[in-house]
Amino acid sequence: MNKTLLNKILITLAFLFAYRILAYVPVPGVNVDVIKEFFNSNSNNALGLFNMFSGNAAERLSIISLGIMPYITASIIMELLAATFPNLGKMKKERDGMQKYMQIIRYATIAITIVQSIGVSIGLQSLTGTQGEQAIMVDINLFIAIAAASMLTGTMLLMWIGEQITQRGIGNGISLIIFAGIVSGIPSAIGGTINLVNTGEMNFLAVIGIFIVILLTIGIIIFVEMGERRIPISYSRKVIMQNQNKRIMNYIPIKVNLSGVIPPIFASAILMFPSTILQASTNKYVQAVYDFLNPNSYTFNFLTFLFIIFFAYFYASITFNTKDISENLKRQGGFIPGVRPGEHTAEYLNEVASRLTFSGAIYLGLISTLPWVLVKFMGVPFYFGGTSVLIVVSVALDTMRRIEAQNYMSKYQTLSAVGL
């Protein structure tokens, strides 16, 4: 392993370690025992799902208890606006404009974090423990101010850590933060399952069945994530002669799942955002909406399926721009056999990408919702749900590919410097 790659890996691990340290720093003025007791009794609803994505920081009411979700929510809003307004989409493609675009996302993250932190603070006002202890140990107005400032600081730190990992480390920083949060809770989830078996609340055969289902799910995820459709490309004789000493890719690889793990993350962020806000209300109609969005309900999983399909198509259209690909091919003298260059190539690529996106969207929706049957009928913790397994496996595969690419790049640089 070369020194550059090793430094990137160490930087990534150092930032993830700092993230896990922040998860144990509670907001001042709160009774952590009461909060943890409350989350233990609500592990199978929206709070359990929210706690999973925060890496168990929510049950400690850590300064990063809101997790990276405010940043993801702001990114979703900006992506939708960029697709709606051409000027904003043009800004995103320009180098200077991209800096302004990211700055807007940061400001939107601040606004969303403040709203969510105030909602959480108000919701904790009426929370008490089994012995009558209050969750908030200081004046409520002072606590709201402290909690808003603390959570805003924590979310900004988390956003900065994610950006630093992306720029200086290996892999996508935001995805790795979510990955680390889920993985950190798996040992306790396994321990909880063992306790259920020891107390007789869960059959050992059921655990074996769950383990087999998880392995099958991982196998399906790896199979689909590695799958791709290769569109053959031919180049003119002149281009081949000019580049005879260079390797020319003679196909366009189109992944079966073009959108990656983003749709399940976006869908979870969208559905958890109102739950975080609505939990502070005691109005019966608002509580009815809150119960409607309970992850332990059919409606929540049906909405998750629909949102995943929507975001799969939306994100695939952004990441795979058929017009730009066709123009680049035409400029380089390449063409798809049997397809005319230009608009016809773009239409052909768009048709192929649409069929693959349909299959990828259905796959993402089923993987994210079908394992919920285990949660519903066997009492399995959320960590064994399809969304968490999908995120963990997909992020691990992506990180391994990036490490491999970095390793190959260093080898080519060495060969170019010293020769054969």
Residue range 167-195, pLDDT digits in tens: 888 888 888 888 888 888 777 777 777 78
Tokens 């490309």 belong to 233
Same domain, 213 and 354: yes
Give the CATH number for residue 165. 1.10.3370.10
Residue 254's H or E segment, with its range, is strand 251-255
Query: Considering the domain boundaries, does residue 103 fall inside one?
Result: yes
Alpha-carbon distance 197 to 203, whole Å? Answer: 6
Query: Considering the domain boundaries, does residue 126 fall inside one?
Result: yes
**Which of helix, strand or coil describes residue 79?**
helix
The tokens for 116 are: 């969510």
The DSSP symbol for 27 reads P
Same domain, 286 and 342: yes
Per-residue pLDDT, 150: 92
- Which residues, in sequence order, are bridge partners of residue 335? 234
Query: Considering the domain boundaries, does residue 411 fall inside one?
Result: yes
Overall number of domains in the chain: 2
Same domain, 124 and 243: no
Same domain, 132 and 236: no
Same domain, 178 and 216: no
CA 233 to chain centre: 33
Same domain, 415 and 283: yes
Same domain, 269 and 400: yes
Q: Domain ends where: 182, 211, 240?
A: 182
Q: Domain ends where: 126, 147, 182?
A: 182
Same domain, 110 and 46: yes
Same domain, 79 and 121: yes
The tokens for 226 are: 């590695």
Contact 153, 118 (CB under 8 A): no
Query: Considering the domain boundaries, does residue 194 fall inside one?
Result: no
**Which of helix, strand or coil describes residue 334?**
strand
Please indicate, yes or no, whether the overall pTM of this predicted structure exceeds 0.85.
no
**Which of helix, strand or coil describes residue 349?**
helix
Alpha-carbon distance 319 to 280, whole Å? Answer: 38
Domain carrying residue 6: 1-182
Secondary-structure percent of the chain, ordered helix, strand, coil, rounded to 5: 75, 5, 20
Query: Considering the domain boundaries, does residue 125 fall inside one?
Result: yes
Q: Is the dihedral of CA 82, 88, 90, 96 positive or negative?
A: negative
What residue type is assigned to position 259 of the chain? S
Is residue 339 classed exposed, middle or buried when 0-12, 13-18 and 19+ CB atoms within 10 A define those classes? middle
Residue 230's H or E segment, with its range, is strand 228-232
Same domain, 137 and 91: yes
Q: In the chain, which residues have pLDDT < 70? A: 1, 42-49, 236-249, 273-283, 286-287, 290-291, 294-296, 371-385, 410-420
Query: Considering the domain boundaries, does residue 191 fall inside one?
Result: no
Same domain, 174 and 218: no
Q: Is the dihedral of CA 288, 293, 294, 297 positive or negative?
A: positive
Q: Domain ends where: 122, 147, 182?
A: 182
pLDDT tens readout for residues 57-84? 888 888 888 888 888 888 888 887 887 7
Query: Considering the domain boundaries, does residue 76 fall inside one?
Result: yes
Same domain, 161 and 249: no
Backbone angles phi, psi at 380, to 5 degrees: -80, 140
- Residue 329, CB-side half-sphere exposure with 13 Å CA sphere: 28
Query: Considering the domain boundaries, does residue 4 fall inside one?
Result: yes
